[in-house]
């Protein structure tokens, strides 16, 4: 009963715990760092991010066939119209992907590393859809190639 009465309160009466926000930020940063290290170390075209990659990619390109994924247009994703277009896609993967709607950082410009200016927040399934497409379509190749060239130069020194 206490939970039910809490849900009837005004949203303004609730605040986010600073500890919870910090834990989320640390988890999101760790995920971003792990992904970037992965595409820096392995040919991105060979990566499989989930067991649902094929379905995610097919559905993404069916629903967003003309979306430019090299440099994301945040407005097209975060406006009311953008959210309405993404919602059915995201909900399609509810129950299939763990944390499908968990807030996740993604690079705006795929040729650049994560930074405050080059990151935005999306749902986990949006992250997978865009990054799987970037991997398969060769948009993340430059990150891997740059790191490979740096390693080769170090080895020659």
| Cα–Cα dist 52/97, whole Å | 8
Reading the chain (157 residues) residue by residue, the pLDDT tens digits are 444 444 455 555 556 677 777 888 888 889 999 999 999 999 999 999 999 999 999 999 999 999 999 999 998 899 999 999 999 999 999 999 988 898 999 999 999 999 999 999 999 999 999 999 999 999 999 999 988 888 878 788 7
Tell me what pLDDT residue 1 has: 44
Tell me what pLDDT residue 7 has: 44
Tell me what pLDDT residue 98 has: 87
Nearest of 114, 116, 138, 130 to residue 33 by alpha carbon? 114
Specify the 3-state DSSP secondary structure of 121.
strand
Distant-in-sequence, close-in-space partners of 45: CB < 8 Å, separation ≥ 6:
135, 136, 138, 141
């Amino acid at each position: 009963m206490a939970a039910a009465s809490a849900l009837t309160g005004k949203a303004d009466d609730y605040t986010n715990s600073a500890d919870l926000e910090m834990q989320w930020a640390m988890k999101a940063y760790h995920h971003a760092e792990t992904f970037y290290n992965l595409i820096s170390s392995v040919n991105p075209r060979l990566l499989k991010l989930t067991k649902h990659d094929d379905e995610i990619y097919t559905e993404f390109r069916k629903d967003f066939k003309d979306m430019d994924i090299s440099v994301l247009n945040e407005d097209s994703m975060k406006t009311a119209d953008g959210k309405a277009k993404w919602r059915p896609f995201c909900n399609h993967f509810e129950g299939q992907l763990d944390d499908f709607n968990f807030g996740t950082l993604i690079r705006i410009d795929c040729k650049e590393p994560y930074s405050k200016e080059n990151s935005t927040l999306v749902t986990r399934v949006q992250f997978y859809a865009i990054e799987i497409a970037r991997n398969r379509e060769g948009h993340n190749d430059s990150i891997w190639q740059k790191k490979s060239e740096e390693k080769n130069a170090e080895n020659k020194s």
